[in-house]
């Protein structure tokens, strides 16, 4: 009883303190939070941003060509040839996970027209093969295995079809293609990416594809899907099959400049357009082997080559779409899985340790609370440094950010990242270590990686930025040591 007044008093004090705290919180929220800067258009959609952050995704080329030892089939193959002895899509997913991929794309139909699912619109499919007694469905097994392993699924459906006799009859073939899009995009759950291309032999029958109709159908059936083609609309081809983006690589282009399958646009696709009106970032498709399909006489590229591909794709503002072809047994070769694991282990070794962590950071200016220079070393991609509105104005020496390192450990890789959600802005940049220039370049985008010719151990790292399109917003600056870097050994 005697305690009661005290607890009441305590309660009253607690209520008052809480009220005062709430009032001061409200004040600080309404009075001191600086809003983010305006976006610089165009900006990515939510689905494009999710795609960009995946960085590495996987392609599986498997089908009739696997069994005929070819890259382009003729369309007259006997479905009886398709008989993988022990197809196991879960094993494919483990190959994808070995390289850190979060999205896997299957070739559901290649140019030979043979369908890996039992399409009701043709008899040229797994249904006519001996595999699983004609009751198999590779697309089903693929998406089920992907989901069970926590991976998202995508599909490639070749427009060029050398088997179907409707090919060349514009309306009939486009109807056939639309019907197959419906089967694939309504029968197999959520599909995160779909691939279209204009690949076609020189002597192929003339055929007008109704890409615009196809794209709208796709969006109607799968709301958050990304459509890949030379021309997007969501993701564009990078312009080569080496897996290399341009050293200048804008996520923006003018879609009106691009015709799917037309030669001569590769350079434009490779570097993008600083004045582009459309956000259509590039994807780098490349195979870990010389061919897209499995051939007994081929083996996976060496680690050094795959690392170079990683630096020239992910490190140049792209997503890397790496192909690993399952063999005639229906499995990704153990040696290929090992190579994928080796690549990811190397990437994790290089980027798992950030030698900029814990650095003090300062910049030419700061926009205010929430946009401090130190945001580039906080290990988060959603926070970023923004300069004050009056800083810079796009001059070459307009903006800089400087890290003062705690660690003296040498580094030979510099990582710079932009907060691209508000548009890609950086047009030129240069890196100085203790006042000496070590690297420079044009665009940054989601991620730019510089490999230095030799390791440096300096104390201060300063990055100069020119961004005439709008103040640069940097989400990260990282310093890493790549022990695999051959240049370092020289």
How far does CA 113 lie from the centroid of its chain? 28
Structure tokens at 399: 């903006």
Taking CB under 6 A as the rule, does residue 334 contact ligand NAG? yes
Helical residues (DSSP H) of 129-208, grouped into ranges: 138-148, 170-186
d(CA 356, CA 461): 9
E strands of 294-419, at which residues?
319-323, 360-363, 399-404, 411-418
Shortest spacing between CB 414 and ligand NAG, in angstroms:
12
E strands of 100-229, at which residues?
103-109, 152-157, 193-195, 226-229
Instruction: Tokens 């985008």: give the residue.
Output: 445
Return the number of other C-beta atoms located less than 10 Å from residue 397's C-beta.
Answer: 11
Taking CB under 6 A as the rule, does residue 91 contact ligand NAG? yes
Does residue 371 contact residue 385 with C-beta atoms inside 8 Å? Answer: yes
d(CA 242, CA 301): 12
Residue choice 139, 153, 331, 479 for contact with ligand NAG (CB under 6 A): 331
Helix (H, G, I), strand (E, B) or coil at 453: strand
What is the footprint of ligand NAG within residues 138-177 (CB under 6 A)? none
Sign of the torsion formed by the C-alpha atoms of 272, 278, 279 and 283: negative
Q: Which is nearer to ligand NAG, 219 or 450 (CB)?
A: 450
Element (H, E) at 27: helix 4-32
Stretch of residues binding ligand NAG (CB under 6 A), selected from 75-83, 147-155, 189-197, 321-329: 321-329
Residue choice 45, 72, 81, 94 for contact with ligand NAG (CB under 6 A): 94
**String marking each residue 400-429 x if it binds ligand NAG according to CB under 6 A:** ------------------------------
Taking CB under 6 A as the rule, does residue 290 contact ligand NAG? yes
Stretch of residues binding ligand NAG (CB under 6 A), selected from 84-92, 237-245, 307-315, 341-349: 84-92
Stretch of residues binding ligand NAG (CB under 6 A), selected from 59-67, 89-97, 162-170, 477-485: 89-97
Taking CB under 6 A as the rule, does residue 39 contact ligand NAG? no
Shortest spacing between CB 141 and ligand NAG, in angstroms:
10
What is the footprint of ligand NAG within residues 182-211 (CB under 6 A)? 201, 203, 206
Shortest spacing between CB 314 and ligand NAG, in angstroms:
21
Residue among 448, 481, 479, 452 nearest 465 (CA): 448
Residue choice 25, 69, 123, 213 for contact with ligand NAG (CB under 6 A): 69
State the residues that interact with ligand NAG by CB under 6 A: 69, 88, 90-91, 94, 201, 203, 206, 254, 273, 275-277, 290, 295, 297-298, 327-329, 331, 333-334, 430, 437, 440
């Amino acid at each position: 009883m005697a305690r009661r007044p005290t607890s009441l008093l305590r309660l009253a004090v607690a209520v008052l303190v809480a009220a005062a705290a709430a009032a001061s919180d409200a004040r600080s929220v309404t009075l001191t939070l600086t809003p983010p800067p305006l976006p610089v258009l165009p900006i990515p959609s939510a689905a494009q941003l999710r795609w960009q952050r995946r960085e590495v995704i996987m392609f599986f080329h498997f089908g009739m060509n696997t069994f005929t030892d070819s890259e382009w089939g003729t369309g007259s193959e006997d479905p009886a040839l398709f008989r993988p002895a022990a197809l196991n899509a879960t094993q494919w997913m483990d190959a994808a996970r070995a390289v850190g991929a979060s999205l896997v794309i299957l070739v559901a139909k290649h140019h030979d027209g043979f369908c890996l699912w039992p399409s009701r619109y043709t008899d040229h499919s797994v249904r006519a093969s001996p595999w699983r007694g004609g009751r198999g469905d590779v697309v089903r097994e693929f998406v089920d295995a992907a989901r069970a392993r926590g991976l998202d699924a995508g599909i490639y459906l070749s427009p060029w079809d050398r088997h179907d006799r409707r090919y060349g009859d514009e309306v009939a073939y486009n109807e056939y293609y639309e019907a197959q899009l419906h089967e694939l995009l309504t029968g197999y759950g959520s599909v995160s990416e779909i691939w279209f291309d204009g690949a076609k032999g020189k002597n192929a029958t003339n055929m007008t594809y109704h890409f615009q109709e196809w794209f709208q159908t796709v969006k109607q059936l799968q709301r958050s899907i990304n459509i890949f083609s030379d021309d997007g609309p969501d993701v564009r081809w990078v312009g080569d099959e080496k897996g290399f983006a341009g050293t200048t690589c804008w996520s923006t282009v003018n879609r009106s400049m691009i015709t799917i399958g037309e030669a001569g646009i590769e350079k434009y696709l490779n570097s993008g357009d600083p004045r582009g009106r459309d956000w259509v970032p590039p994807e780098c498709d490349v195979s870990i082997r010389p061919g897209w399909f499995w051939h007994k006489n081929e083996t996976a590229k060496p680690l050094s080559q795959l690392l170079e591909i990683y630096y020239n794709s992910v490190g140049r503002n792209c997503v890397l779409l790496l192909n690993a072809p399952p063999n005639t047994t229906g499995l990704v070769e153990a040696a290929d899985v090992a190579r994928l694991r080796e690549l990811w282990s190397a990437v994790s070794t290089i980027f798992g340790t950030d030698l900029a962590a814990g650095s003090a950071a300062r910049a030419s200016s700061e926009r205010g609370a929430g946009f401090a220079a130190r945001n580039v070393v906080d290990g988060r991609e959603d926070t970023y440094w923004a300069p004050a509105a009056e800083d810079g104005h796009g001059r070459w020496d307009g903006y800089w950010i400087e890290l003062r390192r705690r660690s003296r450990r040498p580094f030979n890789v510099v990582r710079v990242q932009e907060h691209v959600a508000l548009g890609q802005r950086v047009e030129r940049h240069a890196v100085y270590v203790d006042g000496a220039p070590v690297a420079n370049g044009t665009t940054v985008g989601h991620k730019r990686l510089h490999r230095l010719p030799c390791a440096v151990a300096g104390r201060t790292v300063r990055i100069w930025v020119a961004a005439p399109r709008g103040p640069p917003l940097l989400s990260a600056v990282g310093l890493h040591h790549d022990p695999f870097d051959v240049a370092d050994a020289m």
